[in-house]
Amino acid sequence: MKPDSSNLVKIEKPVYGGACLAHVEGKAIFVPMTLPGEQARIRITGSKSAYATAEAVEITASSPLRVAPVCRHFGACGGCHYQLAGYDTQLDFKRAILRETFERSGVALPSEIDVLAAEPWGYRNRIRLAFDAAGNPGYRGRRSHAVIPIAQCPIAAPLLVRTALAFASVARQVAPALKPTEIALFTDASESSLLLTVFVSSAKWVRFDELMHSLSQQIPALSGAELVLEGPAGQPPRTVAQWGAKSLVYRAAGFDYRVDHGAFFQVNRWLVDSLVERVIAGQCGKVAWDLYAGVGLFARQLTKCFDRVVAVESAPASTQALAANLKGTRGIPVRSATLDFLQRPQGDTRPDLVVVDPPRTGLGAETCALLAKIAAPVLVYVSCDPVTLARDLKVLTGSGYEIDSAAVADLFPQTFHLESVVHLRHS
């Protein structure tokens, strides 16, 4: 199958990654920007032994599920994948993808997969934008790494886009030599406080205080900013200038959390409380472990109903905030990688509950084996990747755990990203 060849195909079903599946001469073809049931003329853009990728040149028979995208940049921008479908359809896609991913891995799911969902627009509390040669902020393109300048982003909190555009304008006037490569913005749920990180590849001297003061005149919510120099490959970035506060206070699920520059926090400002409620689910006991704890979103909640909560986190951007958020509670912050923590002797006290919220790579075989050996009565797995989740659950369910419940927690509407929460009980 040669690139650029043209074929008429029937679109079959959504697959993880944002595309839909079709077949040509028995070979799987992944076609973005299409919907199940549609007929499309496609152009092959790449071919491997097991599958090919394609672009839809023409939709010759459209699905009744298709809707007009809300964002003017949809299609060119690589940030969203599902704006061509209504929100209920998107949720059906994600539930079906989760079930099929589990079935392929041989993991039995409950008959019902619950869904946690909220307002599908304006939800993001964090965005990261790049800059084009003219200094305009934007996202990477869907078909390339080129920067697509944006005038709007309907999935982001309005303050974030407003700040990015204002920063670009002020930087041209106050610090034309700055030449930022990227900018990261994080706001609290109410858009009353904002942290900004500016990334540069050169350490040219700039009046960063003056730049941020000028920006704060237009964006009063700006609480703090940092200038980060990105070093050569293999070298960690380093902060070379700071302005204002180093953290903000984020109100979620009844508590005020300190969140520092660059620290992990759940991205959907409308769904954080529901996610916490789903994860905790009325659990109580003597000891709970929160692994990959971040700034302690779950650990702080667990201190209400457990005698001791051990919160394990290794990322430098999160550990100080984690300690601050657990101060004066029954929580114990531990600065460690999860695998290192599990490999150390933990005494005779077995936790009643373990919560894991790993990165996209999942837990991995060794961590799963150690958790199976510890055999906490209840294990809650918060996942941002269904493939690594299914891989890990295959190990855990083969080592004495059974799945009690599973839910799609749609933290990323309009995109293919699939967050889920699985409760397991040790038999």
Q: How do the domains of the chain map onto residue ranges?
A: 6-66, 91-119+266-426, 126-249
Domain 6-66 of CATH type 2.40.50.140: yes
Rounded CA separation 214/172 (Å): 12
What would the pLDDT profile of 90-119 be if each residue is shown by its tens digit? 999 999 999 999 999 999 989 999 999 999
- pLDDT, position 206: 78
Phi-psi region of 328 (alpha: psi -120 to 50; beta: other; left: phi over 0): left
Rounded CA separation 96/104 (Å): 12
Looking at domain 91-119+266-426, which CATH architecture does it have? 3-Layer(aba) Sandwich (3.40)
What would the pLDDT profile of 209-261 be if each residue is shown by its tens digit? 999 999 999 999 999 999 999 988 778 889 999 999 999 999 999 999 999 99
Q: List, in sequence order, every residue forming a beta bridge with 51; answer none if it has no partner.
A: 28
Buried (b) or exposed (e) across 215-224, using 16+ Cβ within 10 A? Answer: bbeebebbbb
C-alpha of 367 from chain center: 22
Give the strand pairing for 222-229 and 194-200.
parallel
pTM, 2 dp: 0.95
Residue 7, C-beta contacts closer than 8 angstroms, at least 6 positions apart: 24, 29, 41, 42, 44, 54
Return the SS3 of 246: coil
Q: List, in sequence order, every residue forming a beta bridge with 343; answer none if it has no partner.
A: none
Region 78-98: mean pLDDT is 97
Return the SS3 of 143: coil
**pLDDT-derived band of residue 418, with 50, 70 and 90 as boundaries?**
very high
Amino acid identity for residue 402 in this structure: E
Residue 343: count of CB within 10 angstroms of its CB: 13
Rounded CA separation 174/153 (Å): 26
What would the pLDDT profile of 131-151 be if each residue is shown by its tens digit? 999 999 999 999 888 999 999
In this chain, the answer to whether the domains covering 6-66 and 91-119+266-426 adopt an identical fold is: no
When the candidates are 2.40.37.10, 3.60.15.10, 2.40.50.1070, 2.40.10.480, the CATH number that belongs to 126-249 is: 2.40.50.1070
Helix ranges, 219-364 (H): 272-280, 297-302, 316-326, 338-343
